[in-house]
Structure 1
């Protein structure tokens, strides 16, 4: 795939993550090869760090740091020898932004996870946001904002093999253990989960096996994966995150929710895009059908992660979690 094709494929994901679409085009129009992706996006992120240093107000500093975090995270989406460094830079930029903009935000770390807890201390529920194959806590800031606006607390996390932890950990099949540890650390009475892409599988699995989960939603989450049909680039990313090709193959063989779906007792919303067709991936309709309290929302024009259709699902998903957890809709 040439850089023009790759940039077009990442367009709605990048703009859905919150970068300016015009700036995205300016950055990607200058790429000669895929190898230029990471350096170009990191340079853009560093440009925002410089603006943050020169800003005339603390708020502007924080806002520039949030933008920098997005660009650094997106730098990790193409093969790049400095991708791990970019993930660390994204983490640092987000940490700096929240320290300035939300003094009440709290970093929460534990075995196999790290992230930021945001929102009121007396929130009626706390939503854990679970990233996917190559996403991270810096990618879904608009989702976090929508949940915060509905009176919920939100813990956006990186788990094993994800985000800033990708350099030192690998995927684990029993992600429910990670969610359980996060719930223990958060000390929240009512917990919701929302998982995006492969994070949808992690969230659904955790909802089936962790009884403290009271509400769950998935976005573009796989019901089942087939290693033989997965495209080579997806296998390559999986191998990087799982700790090698053999580990990735073994991990993929376990991604099947047929037996677990009937055990999801919490109200479940499954969101899919009608244009999200990936070889080797069975989308979420069977999950919604087999879960006792499952609801299926398919957006016909939506792509993977539905960055091109946010008004069609983001408010509904946020309301689902807020209403189920007893939140206060805005």
Structure 2
């Protein structure tokens, strides 16, 4: 849409214009923050700021770009207020999953809206989001605006109140940080590919998990597999360490399990439900999100049952 005349638009009409961009702005804030819920709050803050400052839209290139400017600054404000230090040590305790069914809501756009294509790529996978969280906030914003959204350096500099040289320098530092924190051999990721090999691996993982067969599970893991369970602290690296953690956590003592297959962050995931005699039903237990590399599980991120409602998963199975 054009940017003129926003000061004459009433609040319901303005909300309707902004609402068209809610999902893509939410995805943008999610990349910046790593938390689905924080992203949701930040989008609400973005819309409030946009309405209150609607006169500042005049002269901007597009209404959409103006909203991205406000959303990015809202994210930077939240990070300065609640997360002054980036993540460290390879784990992100505030990490939350993003359901594919909501990623699919981002509207298809033209070549001038690269965000729409980026949603389908690896920049939404958990490993990428985790790596981004290890960057300082401003380089993080520069990386996402330049490499994911495709903004020119001049526009990013304008948004951040910096020079183009400063933005280019921050981008180089951010890219170096991403190379340090991203897993190796990214060219072997299956990512969002729902190929037969990935489906078969997920099936075998699910069956072995329900059977609580540690030997079969171990055979599906890479030697350098990484396992975490945000917000619980602790990152387990290597097959032996992961199996040891499963053994010590009481996994083998769990009662009967059932599963529901799903997809989050363009990755296969398995929701586990545990039989509860008192409820005569299987109730939510955990969600395992898999990253598959070279035909084996390279990373396993486990989320608690409180994520199930956001992911649209059943409240119980009978």
Q: Same fold (TM over 0.5)?
A: no
Bigger Rg over Cα: 2
Q: Give the structure-2-normalised TM-score.
A: 0.29
